[in-house]
Amino acid sequence: MARIARKPDYFADLGERIEARWRARDYADAALPPIAEEELLRRPPHEHVSPWELAQVGRNPGRMLEQGSPGFGQPPLAVWGSGRMYIEVLYWLQSTTAIHQHTFSGAFAVLEGSSLHTQYRFRPEHKVSDYLHIGKLTWSSSELLPRGSVRPIKSGSPFIHALFHLDHPSVSVVVRNYEDADAPPQLGYLPPGIGVEHSVVEPRLERALDLYRMLVDIGRVRDAEQIVSGIIKHGDLMSVYLAMAAIGDDDAERAIGQRVRARARKLHGAVVDKLVEAIEHKEEARRFTVLRSRVTDPDLRFFLALLLVVPTPAALRRLVAERMPDQDVASTVIRWLTALAEMNAFTFRLDDVQLRMIELMMRGQTFTKIVQSFARDGRAVTGPARTALRRLHDQLKTTRYLDRLVAAR
């Protein structure tokens, strides 16, 4: 019979050492991340605790520490705390964290599994309110975080990031304060450039959007449209964004979305286009996330994460090579693409000709060389067939997700 985990000594020792050092720095928020990072590296959690033994505390809930709100994690488990800071273990199953910043400071360590960690920069152009910023979001870096990796957490816009959890499950340890003094709201970010805090929806607006959803679900689509149209007409820009974001993607709602967005653009101007782009990106990311939730193979989950977030060919190739150091990058990518095509992962079709073209382009072949390679394969390459190959060659350069694979190195 599995025994209840008894690992408080490690976390108590870790927490007390970090807090003692932090106290010597007068509990300055900026001092906590480097202290927490150093202590997590000094005694890595994965060398001292098992997440599966820790989970056995659930056999006797009365022995748990007081647990906070769900927050991050599936689930989170608080394992040590004081009046200034606490430590929690976060279990991750299928979900990925959105691009976000924090209201707290600290550090995290990978206890089990691995993650693709991506950081971003945001340049604000228009601050609508504390809870809605419009600007430009740009990718900064992506890295693989294997078991034992440790990274600091800083509050606010200096640390905007996302974690794609590659293994099922992944588990992390977070050391953090409760909240930084004067911390900005915990904005989430959407490309091409909005920062928004969804959790501060005014209750009456939230109820109106619930009514919209109810009317759609029972088929009263015209009545539902009147609700979002009214919000567009009478609401502020945050309300306009939330109303447009509430509209679904089936045939009936797509028509509503087109009409509502046109009305919003007429009333609020070109800024609506930036909001619409962010909503469309969020929907595309949601479809990818749903797909990833059906994929249990860690390598395919990793590849889907790369396609979704890594914008440069060089970084994408580097990360594939880092994940598969003894394998040819092009061959590896084609194997992954073939597996995803068989799952109907993309909105476009990938057949043998397209996959072969992608492989040859990844190997840096010019179109002339590609034609010669197809000829050696025994494929037709003259007349209409050559024209079709040229068309495919050009299309792949502008096909979303594939464009970075076939771009010149």
- Whether 162 and 212 share a structural domain: no
- Residue 216 structural domain: 203-269
Summarised one tens digit per residue, pLDDT across range 94-105 is 656 689 999 999
- Whether 216 and 325 share a structural domain: no
Instruction: Please indicate, yes or no, if residue 287 is contained in any of the structural domains.
Output: no
Closest CA to 302 of 150, 167, 113, 162: 167
Whether the predicted pLDDT of 66 surpasses 80: no
- Whether 85 and 170 share a structural domain: yes
Residues 107 and 150: beta-carbon distance below 8 Å: yes
Summarised one tens digit per residue, pLDDT across range 381-391 is 888 999 999 99
Measured at the CA of 261, the angle between CA 95 and CA 98, to 5 degrees, comes to 15
CATH number at residue 157: 2.60.120.10
**Cβ neighbourhood burial of 227 (10 Å; 0-12, 13-18, 19+):** buried
Distance from CA of residue 394 to its chain's centroid?
30
- Whether 117 and 259 share a structural domain: no
pLDDT: is 202 or 120 the higher one? 120
23 CB neighbour count, 10 Å cutoff: 11
Q: Which positions ≥6 away from 130 have C-beta within 8 Å?
A: 184, 185, 197
Instruction: Please indicate, yes or no, if residue 288 is contained in any of the structural domains.
Output: no
Residues 194 and 132: beta-carbon distance below 8 Å: yes
How many alpha carbons lie under 13 Å from residue 191 in its C-beta half-sphere?
14
Residues 247-286 as b/e (b if ≥16 CB within 10 A, e otherwise) read beeeeebeebbeebbebbbeebeebbebbbebbebbeebe
Tally of domains within the chain: 3
- Whether 178 and 41 share a structural domain: yes
Distance from CA of residue 34 to its chain's centroid?
25
Summarised one tens digit per residue, pLDDT across range 246-257 is 998 888 888 999
Euclidean distance between CA atoms 341 and 306, whole angstroms = 16
Summarised one tens digit per residue, pLDDT across range 309-353 is 898 999 999 999 999 999 999 999 999 999 988 887 777 788 999
- Whether 92 and 220 share a structural domain: no
So what's the pLDDT on residue 62?
Answer: 76
- Whether 46 and 171 share a structural domain: yes
- Per-residue pLDDT, averaged over 137-142, amounts to 95
The pTM (predicted TM-score) of the whole model is: 0.85
- Whether 31 and 130 share a structural domain: yes
Question: Positive or negative CA dihedral for 228, 233, 234, 236?
Answer: positive
Domain boundary among the residues 187, 217, 232 is at 187
Whether the predicted pLDDT of 293 surpasses 70: no
- Whether 103 and 52 share a structural domain: yes
Query: Is the peptide bond preceding residue 75 cis, with omega within 30 degrees of 0?
Result: yes
